[in-house]
Amino acid sequence: METILLSAETADIEKAAAMIKNGELVGMPTETVYGLAANATDPKAVAGIFAAKGRPADNPLIVHIAELRKLSELAEDIPVLAYRLAEKFWPGPLTMILKKKPCIPDITSGGLDTVGIRMPAHPAALELIRKSGLSLAAPSGNVSGYPSPTKAEHMMRDMNGKISAVIDGGDCTVGVESTVISFENENTVRILRPGGVTREQLLEEAENVIIDPAILHELTEGQTVRSPGMKYQHYSPIAHVIMIEGSYEAFCLYVNENAGENIYALVFDGDEGGLAVPSVKYGCNGSEQAQNLFSCLRDMDEKAAKTVYVRAPEPEGVGLAVYNRLIRAAGFEVIQV
Ligand code: TXA
Ligand code: MG
């Protein structure tokens, strides 16, 4: 199959919408990461998503909408708090897990009786959803396990030949996936995956915000998983990623002791000198690091890096999402220096 690269102009989005209506798969830019979109209510189209990504069948997909009224068509028993959060954070990087209605096929929800719903903020995504007249299931557009795509070229690298088209909507501005939450009760939400909407922001609407322990800690055997995605190795480049926690001086000492061929360092903007291996900078604060992280990890593979030592980000604000992705990319290999 030939994968066409489309622009984000209306005429091209109309082409992509026709493909979606025809049961085909399209790479869709969002403000978080690129998604691999198909008609959420067409089990055959959704099966195509799982096949193209090599995704485990029990890992549910997020359903994307462009109109708030769609929420009650797809989900039921919706807490009032969910509407308040939608009002405040949509369109934007927040996914809410709600009880699903029967129109959501089991394959889309990974066999669960809930569904994750989000309204993305990228104009091309909103236009694609509106022009197709459908709700779109869209996981991140990477091959399962690999870092998510934040540029059209990343989508092409992973999906060329497997899907009908990719819409080039430019670089993703958030750079990490949406915050996924579930509702414990009318006043309490639980963050299952940290993302662009922070705990602090959620606390402006919800009385309590629980950070699920699986966000920062490796699952122990037999532990219940509230979000299937937490079970799997994630965001990993081919290169071996090791996270290092400590000052830049201590980081340099440690990395230099382990210097060698194809060893790289991923450091903060402002970290200067002192390293005996080539380094790449991924930003100076949480939002910049979120924006650059996946692209930097992919670049490490382009450089054929064997091992990448990464300076651990501050797990605060959006930095919590960056920390969460990195610790998974590193398979929980964290060294304190
Ligand atoms: O920003 C994003 O969320 C991107 C863009 C494309 O919208 N999408 C994305 O989808 O990251 P994906 O499939 O790569 O990640 C969705 C995560 C998975 O970890 C999945 O297990 C969890 O959300 N999830 C989805 N539906 C769920 C449900 N009903 N219950 C619990 N977890 C769910
Ligand atoms: Mg993903």
Residues around ligand 2, an ion, CB closer than 5 A: 140
Q: What is the pLDDT of residue 221?
A: 76
Which of 180, 230, 235 is the best mutation target for the ligand 1 pocket, counting ligand atoms within 8 Å of the beta carbon and taking the most?
180
Q: How many helices (H) and strands (E) does the chain have?
A: 10, 17
222, pLDDT greater than 80: no
For the stretch 73-85, pLDDT in tens is: 999 999 999 999 9
| 138 touches 64 (CB < 8 A) | yes
Mean pLDDT throughout 211-216? 92
Mean pLDDT throughout 290-317? 97
How close are the terminal C-alpha atoms of the chain, in Å? Answer: 49
Count Cα neighbours of 71 within 13 Å in the Cβ-side half-sphere: 22
For the stretch 98-128, pLDDT in tens is: 999 999 999 999 999 999 999 999 999 999 9
Q: Tell me which ligand sits closest to the C-alpha of residue 212.
A: 1
227, pLDDT greater than 90: no
Average per-residue pLDDT in the chain? 96
User: Does 97 contact ligand 1 (Cβ within 6 A)?
Assistant: yes
Q: Which residue type sits at 266?
A: L
Distance 60 CA to ligand 1 centre (A): 7
336, pLDDT greater than 90: yes
Mean pLDDT throughout 205-224? 89
CB burial of residue 34 (10 Å; 0-12, 13-18, 19+): buried
Please identify, by atom number, the ligand 1 atom nearest to the C-alpha of residue 196.
Answer: 1
Residue with CA at minimum distance from ligand 1 atom 33: 227
Mean pLDDT throughout 218-246? 86
What secondary structure does DSSP assign to 35-92, as a single string?
EEEEETT-HHHHHHHHHHHT--TTSPPEEE-SSGGGHHHHEES--HHHHHHHHHH-SS
What secondary structure does DSSP assign to 138-197, as a single string?
--BSSPTTSPPP-SHHHHHHHHTTTSSEEE---S-SS-SPPEEEEEEETTEEEEEE--SS
Closest CA to 255 of 330, 310, 293, 300: 310
Distance 273 CA to ligand 2 centre (A): 35
Distance 88 CA to ligand 2 centre (A): 24
224, pLDDT greater than 80: no
Q: What is the pLDDT of residue 307?
A: 98
